[in-house]
Amino acid sequence: MLKAKRIVVIGGSAAGPKAAAKARRLDENAEITIIQREKELSMASCGYPYFVGGFFDDRNMLLCTPTGVVRDPIYYMNAKNIQARTNTEALAIDRVKKTVLIKNLATSKSETIPYDRLILATGAVPNIPPVPSGDLQGITTLQRMQDADFLRRVRDEKKIKKAVVIGGGLIGIETCEALQLAGIDITVIELLPQLLTFLDWEMAELVENHVRSKGVNVITGNGLAAFLGEGGHLTGVKLANGTELPCELAVVAIGVRPNSKLAQEAGLAIGEKRGLLVNEFMQTSDPDIYAAGDCLEIENRITGKRNHAPYGDLANLEGRVAGENAVLGNVATFPGTIQTGICKIFDFKAGTTGLNERSAAQAGFNVLTVINASLDKPGFMNGKLLISKMIVDKADGRILGAQVVGPGDVSRQIAQWAMAVMGKMHVEDVVNADLPYAPPFSLAIDHFIATAHLMQNKIKGRLKGITAIEVKEKIDKKVPLYLLDARGPDEFESMRLGVGEHLIPLGALRKRLGEIPADKEAEIICFCKISLRGYEAALVLEANGWKNVKVMEGGIVAWPYPRER
């Protein structure tokens, strides 16, 4: 009789339990052990901000199965015959003896356990700003379950009046919303010039405008210099420019880095970003050790470069592959990431997939972009706004990435774009995509397809687009322009840019061509609310001899700068 395979998994959050569960499904006889430093297992850490924000009240929902059973050591033993040793730290790996030294944190007792296959899922650790804190009370991250519990108490007790969130990334923005919903006065501090750096600037600015509209103070381009305190308690923060902000709570959310110390000490190969290096089988430089989750560097499927991609869904997918290969040998592969992500920001959502304009240019692509604004479904079905930016390789029309923001159904749009990017599809592949349509779900020509139509028109020279950024630069430089707003008078009175535009409704344009500059070479920029009528106005002008007519992509709703009204 063959000896049962001993599989040890270090890490019990997302990737580790997934790897262990997959291994069990493939081998009923294997001896499987999970080593978990925390007392909880299988934590839905992406749900922490929503627990803090009061979207649900039972913390066990962050730990339970779809049927409501808490995933604790008893569950793992009874349901999966997996020994889950919580409150236990892995101290060292002996690759020659194939053992792991572990310590029970409750009893301080250490022991050595053997393995035939080892799976590392040690996750990530939060970045901490290199500024003095003096161990002040009131400074936290949102990385662990204990952090979520602490911030939930802050919300429920309603004692704290002012808080700062340091970092304007995914966790920072989600935490900002959670605390603002508790009635706390929030300031978000971001060292870089924009929030959500996975977005291009003009898309991130739309998000920032929405955050500000909810009463949140946003400071970009300014970093943290020091925490201020009195009597052991936080009283404020000092910024790099000398500004001091009073607060009783500071949430540090400036990203995470791979937790690779254990692997590094064991002599496993580590990458430039300090993450474990694995092959497509999730196998480390030691053939008997696999790894998965946030402790890794994985390949970007578009550029071929390795990066750190700490996403919960990827951790589960990687864990599944690692668990299968730990049992069966290298039969399953994980091809890498295209960096798809999404977050909720009050009434907005922001999603991305593939490369943004900056990263595509840095990767050497000849980049072409287009911005589209439209509803996600008809107005009579309470359609909501979507603003999308599509990035393609101008050389062949290959879709490199997309970003979508707005109150509409961003998730479905990004999912469609992600499949197009992964499939290495081109613009012509999606302009006639056969997608499901009915008014409760989408427009007759879905926003996704309409965005591809705009890009197709741009590639063919039918749409001469200009971005809001380019328009603003021309205005600031006082370049002679004729800005044509093709909306109706009522729309103009309720919302307008206030940058010297001329109102000529589309329906009246053909009769009022005499108001357009007589010089057929004059630069004319047309727009409307979403620039559909702006595009049609441009076609009218071109048909009547004007040669330098452009359309401001996305229209007024995609204008990232202050408006007159």
Give span(s): CATH 3.50.50.60, the chain: 6-125+257-328, 139-254, 341-459
Predicted local distance difference test score (pLDDT) of residue 132: 82
CATH number of 465-558: 3.40.250.10
Q: Does domain 6-125+257-328 have CATH number 3.50.50.60?
A: yes
The DSSP bridge partners found for residue 218 are 188
Instruction: Give, as one character, the DSSP assignment of residue 230.
Output: E
Give, for 394, the enclosing helix (H) or strand (E).
none
Give the architecture-level CATH label for domain 139-254.
Answer: 3-Layer(bba) Sandwich (3.50)
Q: Cβ-count burial of 499 within 10 angstroms (0-12 exposed, 13-18 middle, 19+ buried)? A: middle
Give span(s): CATH 3.40.250.10, the chain: 465-558
CATH number of 341-459: 3.50.50.60
pTM of the model: 0.94
Q: Cβ-count burial of 68 within 10 angstroms (0-12 exposed, 13-18 middle, 19+ buried)? A: exposed
Give me the residues of the chain with pLDDT under 70, please.
Answer: 1-2
pLDDT tens string 241-285:
999 999 999 999 999 999 999 999 999 999 999 999 999 999 999
Using an 8 Å Cβ cutoff, are 422 and 415 in contact? no
In sequence order, which residues have a C-beta less than 8 Å from that of residue 22 and are 6 or more positions away? 319, 320, 322, 323, 324, 327
Q: Cβ-count burial of 331 within 10 angstroms (0-12 exposed, 13-18 middle, 19+ buried)? A: exposed
Rounded Cα distance between 401 and 76, Å, is 40
Rounded Cα distance between 467 and 409, Å, is 24
Rounded Cα distance between 447 and 375, Å, is 7
Question: What percent of the residues of the chain are helix, what percent strand, and what percent coil, each to the nearest 5?
Answer: 30, 25, 45
Predicted local distance difference test score (pLDDT) of residue 3: 83
Tokens linked to 212: 């500000």
- Positive or negative, the Cα torsion across 292, 297, 302, 305? negative
Q: Of 259, 257, 256, which Cα lies nearest the Cα of 37?
A: 259
Rounded Cα distance between 87 and 107, Å, is 10
Report strand pairing: 385-393 vs 502-503: unpaired
Predicted local distance difference test score (pLDDT) of residue 2: 65
